[in-house]
């Protein structure tokens, strides 16, 4: 079994070995997705009616949704148990079906990502949400008059689905920009610096990177009557899905890979190997990548992840007591690198 886990899984023998394990992994993942979907529906329904009355004014509604979700769902303290039960489940699944077997279940990379959970929960909630609310307030006169009236007579669920697709398209475009525009990439690079993928990696996002992404991703939702349902559904579904796709799990979800971003396809996106650069920008769906030609045809490779920046303050190989200094450097390093783009 020593050769059963090649980095790129191209040997014919390993394909036969993985044929069974992939089916088993796909079955377990499918069960997880079904249970997670049921939990998501419960969370959406539970919070929808609580927030509906506060969402008559577009910008205020968006602010209320963000504030509520980040404090009661995403921030670890007081989180909905339906959502956070998903993280331990994914940790167990990646222990059973790891993409990279040599990766230790607990390592300094996971420890750093867990610190980023708190940075994400408190720093982001502290100033990013205020900026988003301010932007939506400025745009309120236009978004109120630009409502997509063509959907006024369609069922609410269909409008939410169409709005979700619109938000996903903007998310795809935003993600592509954060790779193509150098000053945006230096902040997004923090997220790609993880060489030991795990469910907590989704939180490894620099506040400035998060600010840009969240600034624009929900703008399409403001054009629909069901703004609340679209935003709430997207926040919860994408959060669960992101935890899955950032996990160290060897699965491409079988036929589901033609619609959804998978742990395998997102690992390709995170690859440090140049042949996989600029691919797989989708957030939860891969339909826009397939439509615009940015989808990787490699459905069975599991490359190494990380970045090729020798100056980046990576934690791998460092001692745990250096953690505060590592995190601090990861926060300010992008600013230094961004300034170097203009003042050399």
Q: If DSSP codes are grouped into helix, strand and coil, which group holds residue 260?
A: strand
The answer as to whether 281 is a domain residue is: yes
Distance between CA atoms of residues 25 and 28, nearest Å: 5
The answer to whether 201 and 113 are in contact (CB under 8 A) is yes
Q: What is the pTM of this model?
A: 0.78
The answer as to whether 25 is a domain residue is: yes
Distance between CA atoms of residues 342 and 338, nearest Å: 7
The answer as to whether 51 is a domain residue is: yes
Contacts of 90-96 spanning 24+ positions with Cβ under 8 A: 90/32, 90/199, 90/243, 90/244, 90/247, 90/249, 91/198, 91/199, 91/247, 93/25, 93/28, 93/29, 93/32, 93/247, 93/249, 94/198, 94/199, 94/247, 94/248, 94/249, 96/25, 96/28
The answer to whether 171 and 78 are in contact (CB under 8 A) is no
The answer as to whether 235 is a domain residue is: yes
Strand pairing partners for 260? 285
Tokens 């940075």 identify what position?
Answer: 119
The answer as to whether 129 is a domain residue is: yes
The answer as to whether 7 is a domain residue is: no
Tokens of 107: 């390592």
Number of domains forming the structure of the chain: 1
The answer as to whether 317 is a domain residue is: yes
Query: pLDDT per position in the chain (344 positions), as tens?
Result: 333 333 333 333 333 334 445 566 656 655 665 665 555 555 555 555 555 554 443 444 444 544 444 444 444 333 444 455 678 888 888 988 999 999 988 889 999 998 998 887 766 555 555 655 665 666 666 655 556 555 667 788 888 899 999 999 999 999 999 999 888 999 999 999 999 999 999 999 998 898 888 778 878 887 887 777 787 788 778 888 999 999 999 999 999 999 999 999 999 999 999 899 989 999 999 999 999 999 999 999 999 999 999 999 998 878 888 888 999 999 999 999 988 877 76
> Rounded to 5 degrees, what are φ and ψ at 249?
-120, 135
Span 53-69, pLDDT tens digits: 544 434 444 445 444 44
Of 316, 229, 305, nearest to 269 by C-alpha is 305
The answer to whether 283 and 299 are in contact (CB under 8 A) is no
> Rounded to 5 degrees, what are φ and ψ at 157?
-65, -35
Distance between CA atoms of residues 203 and 79, nearest Å: 15
The answer as to whether 225 is a domain residue is: yes
Strand pairing partners for 266? none
Distance between CA atoms of residues 97 and 177, nearest Å: 33
| Domain interval for residue 326 | 12-342
The residues, ordered by sequence, that sit 6+ positions from 211 with a Cβ below 8 Å of its Cβ are 128, 131
């Amino acid at each position: 079994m020593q050769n059963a886990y090649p980095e790129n899984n191209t040997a014919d023998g390993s394909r036969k070995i993985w044929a069974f394990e992939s089916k088993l992994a796909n079955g377990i993942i499918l069960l997880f997705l079904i249970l997670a979907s049921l939990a998501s529906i419960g969370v959406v329904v539970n919070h929808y009616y609580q927030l509906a009355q506060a969402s008559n004014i577009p910008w205020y509604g968006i602010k209320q949704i963000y504030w509520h979700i980040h404090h009661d769902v995403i921030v670890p303290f007081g989180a909905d148990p339906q959502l956070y039960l998903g993280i331990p489940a994914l940790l167990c699944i990646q222990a059973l079906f790891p993409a990279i077997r040599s990766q230790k279940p607990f390592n300094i990379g996971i420890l750093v990502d867990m610190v980023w959970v708190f940075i994400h929960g408190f720093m982001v909630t502290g100033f990013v949400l205020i900026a988003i609310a301010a932007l939506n307030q400025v745009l309120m006169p236009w978004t109120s008059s630009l409502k997509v009236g063509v959907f006024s007579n369609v069922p609410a669920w269909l409008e939410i689905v169409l709005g979700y697709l619109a938000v996903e398209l903007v998310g795809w475009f935003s993600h592509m920009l954060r790779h193509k525009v150098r000053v945006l990439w230096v902040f997004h690079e923090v997220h790609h610096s993880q060489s030991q993928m795990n469910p907590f990696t989704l939180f490894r996002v620099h506040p400035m990177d998060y600010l840009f992404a969240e600034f624009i991703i929900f703008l399409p939702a403001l054009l629909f009557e069901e703004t609340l349902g679209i935003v709430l559904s997207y926040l919860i579904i994408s959060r669960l899905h992101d935890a899955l796709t950032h996990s160290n799990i060897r699965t491409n979800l079988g036929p589901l890979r033609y619609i959804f971003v998978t742990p395998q396809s997102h690992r390709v996106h995170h690859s440090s190997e140049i042949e996989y650069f600029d691919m797989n920008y989708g957030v939860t769906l891969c339909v826009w990548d397939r439509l615009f030609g940015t989808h990787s045809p490699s459905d069975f490779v599991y490359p190494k992840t990380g970045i090729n920046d020798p100056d980046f303050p990576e934690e791998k190989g460092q001692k745990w007591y250096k953690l505060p200094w590592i995190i601090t450097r990861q926060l300010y390093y992008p600013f230094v690198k961004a300034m170097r783009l203009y003042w050399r």
